[in-house]
Amino acid sequence: MKIDVLSIFPGYLAPLRESLIGKAVDRGVIELGVHDLRRWTYDVHRTVDDSPYGGGPGMLMRAEPWGLALDELAPVDGPQPRLVVPTPAGRPFTQALANELAAEPWLLFACGRYEGIDARVVEYAADRMVVDEVSLGDYVLAGGEVAVLVMVEAIGRLLPGVLGNVASHEQDSFSDGLLEGPAYTRPEVWRGRPVPDVLLSGHHAAIARWRRDEALRRTAARRPDLLSAVTLDTTDRKVLAE
Ligand code: SAM
C-alpha cells in the first residue's frame, strides 16, 4: 500500500518509521511518503495560513498550497488516491473504516492545523478522488498529525504481512463486534492471583466459550451500545441475562 501524508510538521510523523509500521515500511509493504506542505508555497515567509472570511478567531489554511500539492502528488490525468482528511467534523474512525481503508492501494492524508483547511480544498479534491473526512473522537486536537498516526497504525497492522500472526487482529476487540475479554500470561499465580482454571485446561472449545462469555460481559458492562450490532445466539443471550 502507498501512503502519503501532507503536513506542515513532517517531523511529527517520524514515529511511522518505528516499530511495526516502521518495519512494514522497511520491508516495502508500505511505501511511505511524508511531505512538507510548505514545499508548495512561494512567498518569502512560506505562508500556509490566512484569516477567515467573515471574521472570527484563529487562522485557516490557505487553499492554494493544498491544490498545488494535490496536483503534483496525484496529477489530474493519473491514478488517484483515496484522500483522508482528519477533522472533528468528520465521520468517526472505527475498526470497520480501518478495514475499508486497508483495502485501498493508495491513501493520502491531509493534516490540518490552525482552525482547519479552506473548505474548497475538499470540494476540489472530491471532483477526482474519493474523500473521507474522518474524526478520531469528540474532542479537538491541535492538528491532524496525531490523528494520522492513529489511523495509519490501525490500518497498517491489517495489511497482509505486517503482523506476524494474522489471527491476532482477527481476535482483537471489534473484529467480532465485541470488546476483547481479559488475557493472562505466565506465571499461573501472580501475587496470590491465579489465572482462570479453564485457560489451563487445554480444552479448546471450553476456552473459546469462556473467551466469548468474558467478551460479552465486558462489552455489556463497558460499551452496551456495541451489542445491538452483534449477532447473538441462545447461549450468548443466557450469558448476558445472568
Ligand atoms: N476549527 C476546527 C473545528 O472546530 O472543527 C478545529 C481545528 S483543529 C484546532 C486543527 C486540526 O486538527 C483539524 O483541521 C484536524 O486536522 C485536526 N483535528 C482536531 N481534532 C480532531 C479530531 N477529533 N479528529 C481528527 N482530526 C482532528
Give one DSSP letter per residue of 136-189, joined into a string: SSSS--S-SHHHHHHHHHHHHTTSTTTSS-HHHHHTSTTTTSS-------S-SE
90 among annotated binding-site residues: no
pLDDT at 166: 73
Whether the CB-CB separation of 40 and 10 falls below 8 Å is answered with: no
Whether the CB of 115 sits within 6 Å of ligand 1: yes
Residue with the smallest CA separation from ligand 1 atom 27 is 87
pLDDT at 39: 98
Residue with the smallest CA separation from ligand 1 atom 7 is 115
Instruction: Measure 11 CA to ligand 1 centroid, in angstroms.
Output: 19
First to last CA, the chain: 46
Whether the CB-CB separation of 37 and 69 falls below 8 Å is answered with: yes
Q: For residue 134, give the ligand 1 atom closest to its CA.
A: 25
Q: Which grid cell sits at 177?
A: 463486534
pLDDT at 170: 79
pLDDT at 154: 98
Catalytic site residue from 172, 176, 180, 236:
172
Task: Give yes or no: 115 in active site.
Answer: yes
Catalytic site residue from 64, 104, 115, 236:
115
Residue with the smallest CA separation from ligand 1 atom 9 is 142
Task: Give yes or no: 88 in active site.
Answer: yes
Q: Which grid cell sits at 162?
A: 505486517
Q: Write out residues in the chain with pLDDT < 50, as ranges.
A: none
List the one residue out of 71, 56, 58, 157 whose CA is nearest residue 112: 58
Task: Give yes or no: 26 in active site.
Answer: no
Q: For residue 139, give the ligand 1 atom closest to its CA.
A: 23
pLDDT at 226: 96
> Which pTM does this prediction carry?
0.95
Task: Give yes or no: 197 in active site.
Answer: no
pLDDT at 171: 78
d(CA 224, CA 221): 6
pLDDT at 165: 77
Whether the CB of 87 sits within 6 Å of ligand 1: yes
Q: For residue 140, give the ligand 1 atom closest to its CA.
A: 20
